[in-house]
Amino acid sequence: MIEETLVYHVNDKKHNAALFTEEKAKRPIVLVCPAWMGLDDFAKNKAKELAEKGYVGIALDVYGEAKKVDTPEEATELMIPLFTERKELRKRLIAGLEAARSLDWADTGKIWVIGFCFGGLCAIELLKSGAPIKGAVSFHGLLSDTLGEVDAETEKTEKVHGKLLVLHGSQDPLAPMLHVEDFVHEMTEADVDWEIDLYPAAHAFTNPDADMPESGLKYNEKAAKRAFERMYAFFNQP
């Protein structure tokens, strides 16, 4: 397994994505957008698993400087400005995409983006920017432009070139079914080729370390297995 740091810059800040591939060959690329804690082991491990399946897996460094935090308070401080300022969020995501597209040894005509929780929102936002990607997959992602009392300054949905798969827990308190319904309407109005799979699961259901049921965060092994199988099937659709 080849492991490298893919460096790119945004606003003079260094971003250090984690790249994994079994060989430098014409393999499709999958960008992994981490959850709100930053470039953590979960995101890196998913990128590595993708590499083991024949892709170039790249865990993006959305916050910059490979930042990873340990507490919800620290994560909130990093995430909320980007949740709010979608223009800045898109700028960082597009910079990561362009860094991936600079890999002349990979199959840069086949790039996917996936994300978890806040990273799910990132994956959707990159798709909505009109970026030249094959598609996006959101795992228990944030689907609304409102989070608690915080409202985002949104950017318009450009002409979307890829398709979208949302893998979501029906018991997710951070993105409840009302948000799902509104999101479906938004994507339909924007003429996005979308699919949604619902699981009887809570927020963060793919993360084995998620064990805060009182806050609506709980790992669900069965749902996680099905969701990842669904993702690979989605990649292979014509």
In the chain, the N- to C-terminal Cα span, in Å, equals 29
Contacts of 230 (CB under 8 A, 6+ apart): 165, 167, 197
Task: Tell whether domain 2-235 is in CATH 3.40.50.1820.
Answer: yes
Name the amino acid, one letter, at 206: T
Inter-residue contact 223 to 136 (CB < 8 Å): no
The DSSP code for 133 is: -
State residue 41's pLDDT score.
96
Give me the residue label for tokens 């910079």: 95
User: Which helix (DSSP H) or strand (DSSP E) does residue 167 occupy?
Assistant: strand 163-169
- Average pLDDT by consecutive 10-residue portion of the chain (238 residues)? 96 96 96 97 98 98 94 93 96 98 96 98 97 97 88 86 96 94 94 96 95 91 98 94
Inter-residue contact 28 to 55 (CB < 8 Å): yes
State residue 94's pLDDT score.
98
